[in-house]
Chain A
Amino acid sequence: MLRRYLVKRLLIAIPSLLIASLIVFTLPRLIPGDVVVLMLAEKAYAKDLEELRAKLGLDRPLPVQYVEWLGRVTRGDLGESLWTKRPVLEEIGQRLPVTFELAFFGLFFALLIALPVGIISAARQDTISDYFARSLAIFGLSVPAFWLATLLIVLPAIWWGWRPVTGFVEFSRDPFNHVTQLLLPAVILGIATGAALMRLTRGMLLEVLRQDYVRTAWAKGLAERVIVLKHGLRNAIIPVVTLLGTQLPQIIGGTVIIETVFGLPGMSRFLFDAINQRDYPVIQGVNLVVVSLIVVINLTVDTLYAVLDPRIRY
């Protein structure tokens, strides 16, 4: 049964990935002609217009271009950067670990905040602690990450004369400083996701706590802790796990701003620079890698979900 579900899920993921690749592929094709001229004048990416069109692959019929591009992609060839002339895949390979690490820590902090606050908020619905937790969560969803980052850099500097270390320390050089430099960015990155997860945890738990079997548990005289954590949370947590998967694109999107503010050499900053330099092979490459990763991770989350919840039969 599970295998059939997995095959079905995989069959759904493939067209999504193909459509995503089509979107990634089409983007540069939407560039108006004068932008190619501009790219030539501004960045001197090629000797003449024809060469640049050929480099961008804009000189042949669209379907042919797509199939050829897809063929190259499946062989691991994402083209080379117009700016640095290095293979895009190689450039991404260097920067992906930084972004990944940041996203992982961000998600970790998000869960660390979301679960306890969500549980307390649901178990004490419409009390002061619930109002406080919910206001805090909504505020967490409302505060722009770049502002929070700015405040956390500026205020300690003004109050205590403490400034965060700038410049990136690699893990192989100094593991301790490598991790500590990522803590602040990761916490800021995790706040919005944590707030979203907290709200879902609260909502789902509230729904479960209204079920008949919970009423029975109360009637049996079980302790509140057992009812909320054992009967409630275990049944409410599954959608939260699913949301983790869907939050991933947002976390990775958030790294664009965090990496820019903190000067981390990750993939998102690479994309941002590429956008500013109109380096289309890089834009295409990074987009494709990000989307593929997200589709694969979502597939994994779905699989876990099916394995973890014995009630689900496909």
Chain B
Amino acid sequence: MGVDTVRVVGSFTRRKPLGAIGAVIVVALLLMAVFAERIAPHGYDDTIRGARMKPPSAAHWLGTDNLSRDMWSRIVYGARVSVTVGFATVALAVTLATAIGVSSGYFGGVYDLVIQRVVDAWLSFPYLVIVLSVMAVLGPGLLNVVLSLAIIIAAVNSRVIRGATIAIAQGTYVEAARALGCGHARILVRHILPNVTATIIILATIGLGAAILAESGLSFLGFGVPPPYPAWGAMLSGSGRTYMFRAPWMAIWPGLAISLAVFGFNMLGDALRDVLDPRLRGGSAR
């Protein structure tokens, strides 16, 4: 890490303390997901003799569940599902959204009109309704969760990217590039894409939170990763709810983990937007 990076991080922390908190949460989440084996004291499916539904203690920080499994270990492994679904969904969604949004905004005309009507149609579906319906056809599973969530997030994001593209395409430098004889491909890659990157980064960060939240909702409804692998949403449904009055920690920690993860990404995304979007910078005109 160079001196410049340290300076940028320092200045970001001073200007956007909430964003910095978000960044810390995101980094912690990533570490949990990558080093789950080293961080978790037990395997996610290890049953511990004589430790059924024990409340939080020094031996089991977050208590144990109805199958005598360590909750902290399951939460740590659960980060993997959230991170995998989050990043895979957003990568796919952003790629799709950029392709649709940039081409639609740049070429305009009938192509834009047709594409936007299809996007309109997608957007008029409540996401959970359409995702559940798609899952009914595809069946449950991680890949299907990613696919169905990505389509919805892509539709929303493509609108924003299209708007940004239209604004950029009207710039004089794009006109100049065209006058110099640049082809569409060169203008798109060298002039339009670099200028929508900031928008894409913001959408991706906020999309990560949305994707993790949506995945947890699907897992809660029983359409996520099949057990015994711990997905936070699934931990909260089924046994988490059955035993919620006798062992409330079984329902409390997974939800807190989801909330913190999504909170981290949202905070970071918000701060990035404030920094990258000049219209929101600084104080009021007073």
Contacts and interface: CB of A to CB of B under 8 A. Distances in A.
Interface residues of A, number: 68
B169 to A, nearest CB: 22
Interface stretch (A47-55, A290-298, A302-310): A290-298
Given A126-B283, A144-B233, A291-B124, A272 B255 contact: no
B285 A150 contact: no
Contacts of B120: 12, 16, 19
B124 A249 contact: yes
A147 B221 contact: no
A215 interface: yes
B11 interface: no
A102 interface: no
Contact of B266 (A16, A138, A212): A138
Contacts of A35: 137
Contacts of B255: 143-144, 146-148, 150-151
Interface stretch (A23-31, A67-75, A111-119): A23-31
A154 B270 contact: no
A5 interface: no
Interface of A: 12, 15-17, 19-20, 22-23, 27-28, 30-31, 35, 125-126, 131, 134-135, 138-139, 141-148, 150-151, 153-155, 157-158, 203, 206-207, 209-212, 214-215, 218, 246, 249-254, 256-257, 260, 268, 271-272, 275, 278, 283, 286-287, 290-291, 294-295, 298
Contacts of B221: 256-257, 260, 272
Nearest to A275: B136
Give the 8 A-B CB pairs with smallest separation, nearest first: A147-B255, A253-B126, A253-B128, A142-B262, A19-B121, A142-B263, A16-B120, A249-B126
A287 B124 CA distance: 10
Contacts of B266: 138, 141-142
A139 B263 CA distance: 6
Interface stretch (B93-101, B183-191, B240-248): B240-248
A154 B248 contact: yes
Contacts of B142: none
A270 B259 CA distance: 28
Nearest to A218: B286
Interface stretch (B38-46, B59-67, B212-220): B212-220
A284 to B, nearest CB: 9
A157 B123 contact: no
Given A126-B283, A142-B258, A142-B266, 18 more contacts: A19-B121, A20-B125, A23-B125, A23-B130, A138-B266, A139-B263, A143-B255, A143-B259, A143-B262, A144-B216, A144-B217, A150-B255, A155-B248, A203-B280, A249-B127, A257-B220, A271-B129, A291-B121
B134 A27 contact: yes
A35 B243 CA distance: 34
Interface residues on B, range: 35 or more
A269 B174 CA distance: 51
A254 B128 CA distance: 7
B78 interface: no
Interface in B1-37: 17-18
Interface in B183-210: 209
Nearest to B279: A207
A31 B137 contact: yes
B128 A214 contact: no
Interface string B253-285: 011101111110011001000000001100111
